[in-house]
Amino acid sequence: MRVDGPATDGNVAINISVFAVFVLITLYVVYRASTRNTTAADYYAAGSSFTGPQNGIALSGDFLSAASFLGISGGIAVHGYDGFLYSVGWVVAWMMGLMLIAERLRNTGRFTLGDVLSFRMRQRPVRAAAANATLVISLFYMIAQMAGAGALMALLLDVQDRVGQAVVIAVVGVVMVVYVLVGGMKGTTWVQIIKAVLLLLCVSFLTIFLLGKFGFSLSAIMETGSRNTPLGAKVLDPGALYGGSELSKLDFVSLALALVLGVTSLPHVLMRFYTVPNAREARRSVVWATLLMATFYLCTLVIGFGALALVGSEKIASAPGGENSAAPLLAFEVGGAVLLGVVAAVAFATILAVVAGLTLTASASFAHDVYANVIKRGTADPRSEIRVARLTAIVVGLLSIVGGIAASGQNVAFLVALALALAASANLPTLLFSLFWRRFNTAGTLWSIYGGLTSCVVLIIFSPAMSGAPNSIFPGVDFHWFPLGNPGIVSIPLSFLCGWLGTLLSRTEADPVKQAEMEVRSMTGIGSGLN
């Protein structure tokens, strides 16, 4: 086994230069894309000018985040089967988006989730609620990504002290705000496309190499891997991570539910459907995203067990980034410093691109829903709306830098799972009721958004994830009373129930004319101006 770690001085230089090249290229692309970036439609939705396949690649890029690339391949390398289990949910979830959401959202809305939820309801309270949900979910997801950037840098650039990591997080934040301010949705989407293509090439190369090395037998890779971990052959069976107690089993089911329902309810994913010209292209983009995601996670299965076979779980667990270092360590083992540099740069670029998308979504939601429609009651001049959006992007960028520094060192995949639970609780029930249930009304909408959001936040605060367990955010104190780490199994059904009850208990009936308009428009695009 080689003695030198992945973060020797020469490697750091390679890592930084590969990454600098990526930033320069993407900044140039963003700058080129920005030339006609003047109207609200350009800034929020790239003028709806992307094709289905392009948007599909960008969509998969939103999900091939550092948390899933590093987190899942690392999860497989350390926990074996239970890590793989996690990746299945990410793929299956896309069918929700495909069949229930993508086309209808594209036909009904223009820029934000608030457009759709408030379509047939009272504008101001519903838009405010939708914006609240979007901001909370996006900030949560963003902090997770920024915290990941710190952990990644610890591994790749040998930045061990907190101050150094804070500087790295701040640099990530500034670059991403520049992407958003200069490029708007178009620039952000191109960054996402470039990054997704690089990442897919990278994992395909690693996978083909590993398969070749082990005679194209998945069984051989898994068998060699299982000899390299203290778990032994158990690493191939379920239960290594979630098998401990009845509670941890239930916790896993809760997580799986949040995954499958949350992925396509995330605001930055929903907003992507507006970057294509019509419902058919929205459908094509989900088809592309699904195929790419399926390929990607099949590759992570091989990479995860490959890392176990070639690197070994002890070396992975003791590396500076812990679990997250499995894929980079494997790259170093396979292709030396250069391949490590490429994998590192791609992983870092991933964080940058995902955070830029989130910043854009949060700023659009505030400017379009809160500023233009709640505060200015729909009379805001479009130019001032864009100005507010840009200012919000800066504020959100600052908030996420601060939050990312504070959360640095937390388990990234776990924070992402909480954001998914929030999205599945606050957005999904409301969106489905609004599209498919005729009687659903303003009261029901508010109940399900706030019911889902509040219950989810409260359960997270009083869960073992926050306090009372060795790996919680505040391990020193114990104020938890909710036994599960992920609240999805309670808060998602509760939000559906709230929407239903709120609708029945309210005296104001749903507006049948607006309902007809929304139903016809969502299925055919009539009245949307799209074709």
**Sites of contact with other proteins (CB under 8 A):** 51-52, 81, 84-85, 88-89, 91-92, 94-96, 98-100, 103, 217-220, 222-223, 226, 233, 236-239, 242-243, 249-250, 252-253, 256-257, 260, 280-281, 283-284, 286-287, 290-291, 294, 297-298, 512-513, 516-517, 519-521, 523-527, 531
Nearer to other proteins, 116 or 405 (CB): 116
Give the closest residue to 203 by CA, choosing from 133, 325, 291, 295: 295
User: Residue 266 carries which DSSP code?
Assistant: -
Nearer to other proteins, 124 or 280 (CB): 280
Supply the minimum distance, in Å, between the C-beta of residue 275 and other proteins. Answer: 15
Closer of 5 and 239 to other proteins (Cβ): 239
Pair 164, 158: CB distance under 8 Å: no
Buried-exposed string 323-350: b where 16+ CB fall within 10 A, e elsewhere: bbbbbbbbbbbbbebebbbbbbbbbbbb
Q: CA separation (Å) from 346 to 237, 309, 426, 452?
A: 31, 23, 32, 35
Whichever of 182 and 218 has its CB closer to other proteins, that residue is: 218
Q: How far apart are CA 248 and CA 241, in angstroms?
A: 9
Q: 222, 216 in Cβ contact below 8 A?
A: no
Q: Residue 215 class from Cβ within 10 Å (0-12 exposed, 13-18 middle, 19+ buried)?
A: exposed
- CB of 220 or CB of 399, closer to other proteins: 220
Q: CB of 187: closest distance to other proteins in angstroms?
A: 23
150 in Cβ contact with 11 (< 8 Å): no
Instruction: Between 387 and 514, name the residue whose CB sits nearer to other proteins.
Output: 514
- Phi and psi at 319, nearest 5°, equal -70, 160
User: How far apart are CB 378 and other proteins at their closest, in Å?
Assistant: 19
Q: Which is nearer to other proteins, 116 or 159 (CB)?
A: 116
Give the residue from 347, 481, 492 showing the smallest Cα distance to 412: 347
Q: What are phi and psi of 67, to 5 degrees?
A: -60, -40
Nearer to other proteins, 172 or 279 (CB): 279
Encoded amino acid at 217, one letter? S
- 127 CB-contact burial (10 Å; exposed 0-12 / middle 13-18 / buried 19+): buried
User: What count of other Cβ atoms lies within 10 Å of the Cβ of residue 143?
Assistant: 26
Beta bridge partners of 467: 474
Q: 296 or 447, CB closer to other proteins? A: 296
Give the three-class secondary structure for 53: helix
Instruction: With CA atoms as reference, report the closest residue to 275 among 259, 265, 286.
Output: 286
- Closest by CA position to 219, among listed 294, 302, 343, 147: 302
Cβ 99 to other proteins shortest distance, Å: 4
Cα gap 297→87, rounded to integer Å: 6
Q: Which residue lies nearer to other proteins by CB, 257 or 420?
A: 257
> What distance in Å separates the CA atoms of residue 142 and residue 148, rounded to the nearest whole number?
10
Return the number of the residue (13 or 99) whose C-beta is nearest other proteins: 99
Contact 323, 71 (CB under 8 A): yes
* Helix (H), strand (E) at residue 445: helix 442-461
Compare residues 152 and 255 and give the one whose CB is closer to other proteins.
255
